[in-house]
Amino acid sequence: MPATGDELGRRLRDGDLSAAPAVLNLVESRAPGHKDEIDALLHAVSPAALGGEARAHVVGVTGPPGVGKSSLLSELVRTWRADRRSVAVLAVDPSSKRSGGALLGDRARIAVDPADRAVFIRSMAAGGRLGGLAPATRAAAHALAAAFDVVVVETVGVGQSETEIAEVADTVAVVVQPGGGDVLQFLKSGIMEIPDVLVVTKADLGQVAQRSRRDLHAALRSLGARDTEVVAVSSLAPATGFDELVAALDAHRDSLDITARRLEARRASALADFVAEHGERGRRALGGQRSALKLLGVQDAALDVPALTRVLEEAAAS
């Protein structure tokens, strides 16, 4: 008999990393009755149940297709594991129109030791959301953060995903390749807020990569983001720059008011879940995005995502 949501939440609270596959199977399920179990899981890993915010550093990794995110993640996982940190990676892939499942294989793209039980990698279908986050991705990130040291949410950067990943992650790393002018337009376009860390891949190209790093520094200064780190890495053996990248990610998390950041993430997830269920008509019934977030802002800070979603449902029905 499958474990209940409450049982899975208890195992995560106890640090049982082997619960991760069952957690993903549950949050991705559309079977009748599983919604209540998902709600029970999220309640079981809420700050109220944990006695505070979840332990993990939730890192969002995004960037254009083909920029080298998979190679970068392979090296990042190795670096974290060398520091004895457990890592879960949720790789959000485009969906198959036929099956609805993820098109790309997780372990085929991200190289890890298959015998390492402290690493969990799962591809999740974007559900036709153009790289954005499906409700299951948000639920999985919230749940796994209770047990793992690092939870990575990786998306294909195509617009909507950048704003959505910023609603879930503590730290957002945007990955770009050297020699491309797209990132400068990307930063100026306002598609996303300034990333927390910018990563230039293919540092082995030498001057081309260093020039891109300088250009990005200059662009960030012009936008008033002087504190945003720009790190150049190379995934070619011997890999370089990853200790510096991990240090930049850690420094950003250490600078956060993590309680406030996570509270915003839960409110954004509740609204996203509500809209996924009720569509734009439901959002209009709440008076629009701003009114909905204002309503959530006056609720008890200890409420979990399902409880916040119910607040929105009751407000829309009244």
Domain count along the chain? 2
**One pLDDT digit (tens) per residue for the chain, 318 residues:** 788 999 999 999 999 999 999 999 999 998 888 999 999 999 999 999 999 999 999 999 988 777 888 899 999 999 999 999 999 999 987 544 343 444 444 444 677 777 889 999 998 876 554 445 777 999 999 999 999 999 999 987 655 455 788 889 999 998 888 876 555 555 555 445 568 898 988 888 778 888 888 888 777 777 776 678 889 898 888 889 999 999 999 999 999 999 999 999 999 999 988 998 899 999 999 999 999 999 999 998 889 999 999 999 999 998
Single out the residue in 213, 229, 254 at which a domain terminates. Answer: 254
Nearest-angstrom CA–CA distance, 109 and 73: 9
Q: According to the model, what pLDDT value does residue 109 have? A: 64
Residues 135 and 273 in one domain: no
Single out the residue in 216, 235, 254 at which a domain terminates. Answer: 254
Single out the residue in 222, 254, 286 at which a domain terminates. Answer: 254
Nearest-angstrom CA–CA distance, 289 and 275: 10
Q: According to the model, what pLDDT value does residue 222 have? A: 73
Q: According to the model, what pLDDT value does residue 187 have? A: 57
Give 32-72 as a DSSP string. Answer: TTHHHHHHHHHHHTSHHHHTSS-SSEEEEEEE-TTSSHHHH
Residues 70 and 190 in one domain: yes
Examine residue 20 and state whether it is found in any structural domain, yes or no: no
Q: Give how far the C-alpha of residue 54 lies from the chain's centroid of Cα atoms, to the nearest Å.
A: 14
Q: According to the model, what pLDDT value does residue 165 have? A: 85
Residues 205 and 187 in one domain: yes
Q: According to the model, what pLDDT value does residue 86 have? A: 98
The CATH number that applies at residue 120 is 3.40.50.300
Residues 210 and 284 in one domain: no
- Phi/psi for 237 (5° steps) reads -70, 135
Examine residue 115 and state whether it is found in any structural domain, yes or no: yes
Give the bridge partners for 89, in sequence order. 121, 152
Q: According to the model, what pLDDT value does residue 162 have? A: 59
Nearest-angstrom CA–CA distance, 151 and 199: 18
Residues 210 and 67 in one domain: yes
- The range of the structural domain enclosing residue 175 comes to 53-254
Compute the chain's Rg from CA coordinates. 19
Q: According to the model, what pLDDT value does residue 103 have? A: 41
Helices 258-285 & 289-297, crossing angle to 10 degrees? Answer: 130
Residues 272 and 241 in one domain: no
Q: According to the model, what pLDDT value does residue 120 have? A: 96
- Phi/psi for 300 (5° steps) reads -55, 130
Residues 311 and 221 in one domain: no
Residues 192 and 78 in one domain: yes
Residues 145 and 93 in one domain: yes
Residues 245 and 103 in one domain: yes
Nearest-angstrom CA–CA distance, 124 and 140: 10
Contact (Cβ atoms closer than 8 angstroms) between residue 12 and residue 45: yes
Nearest-angstrom CA–CA distance, 96 and 128: 8
Examine residue 110 and state whether it is found in any structural domain, yes or no: yes
Nearest-angstrom CA–CA distance, 49 and 299: 18
Residues 232 and 94 in one domain: yes
